Amino acid sequence: MLKVNKSLILFKVMMYMMLFGAKAQTAQLDVDRLYAKYKGQTETVIFAGDREINAHVLINYNSHNKPYRIIIYGETAADAAMESLIGDLCAAKEKAGYKRVPHTTVVNFDQKGAYENNIEVRAYEKGSQYARYGIKEAEKRNQALQENTTERYSSDFFYFEVGDMTRKKNRKPEKFDF
């Protein structure tokens, strides 16, 4: 019969748990993953269908200088290609374990006063993490070109946000001095 060294087996099990168990416990937040991708950028290009869309990147930090929210926003047509992109983003969040918020969520966003304030978004949550995706038809105009009075949308605005509520609330207590 083979003699087993219990100390060696215990050591190997502990090393395995330290190496592989720790990785499972320190899953990266989506905001950190996206921060690594967009750090230092104020603009990026996204694709909807066969269209390139210039988008702005906004990163908000907590008092410890850690990112708690990343927003990508800009102007593009509110068309089937954008709805498809938003649908794909939502499906990816559901696959990653996020749950859709059952009620209507409205985001108040007015970066530099350039867009309408309130945007209805599809919201998802997973623990303290959240994601919000929406597009707003900001302005309708009737284009009177000869007899064509088809409604056209211009200045349509999209808004994508990923963040972490726990990270946002992580503030340093400061002694009040007046």
> Structural domain of residue 104, as residue ranges?
27-169
Amino acid 124: pLDDT: 97
Q: What's the rounded Cα separation, in Å, for the pair 178 and 156?
A: 46
121 lies in some domain: yes
178 lies in some domain: no
pLDDT for 11-61, tens place per residue? 555 555 555 554 444 578 999 999 999 999 999 999 998 999 999 999 999
Amino acid 9: pLDDT: 55
7 lies in some domain: no
50 lies in some domain: yes
19 lies in some domain: no
Indicate the SS3 state at residue 168: helix
Burial class (CB in 10 A: 0-12, 13-18, 19+), 77: middle
Residue 2 phi, psi (nearest 5): -80, 130
117 lies in some domain: yes
Q: What's the rounded Cα separation, in Å, for the pair 71 and 56?
A: 8
Opening angle at CA 162, ends 70 and 132, nearest 5: 125
Number of domains in the chain: 1
Q: What's the rounded Cα separation, in Å, for the pair 91 and 97?
A: 10
pLDDT for 128-171, tens place per residue? 999 999 998 865 544 555 555 555 545 688 999 999 999 988 76
Amino acid 7: pLDDT: 55
122 lies in some domain: yes
Sequence-distant (6+) residues with CB within 8 A of 48 are 76, 79, 81, 82, 84, 85
16 lies in some domain: no
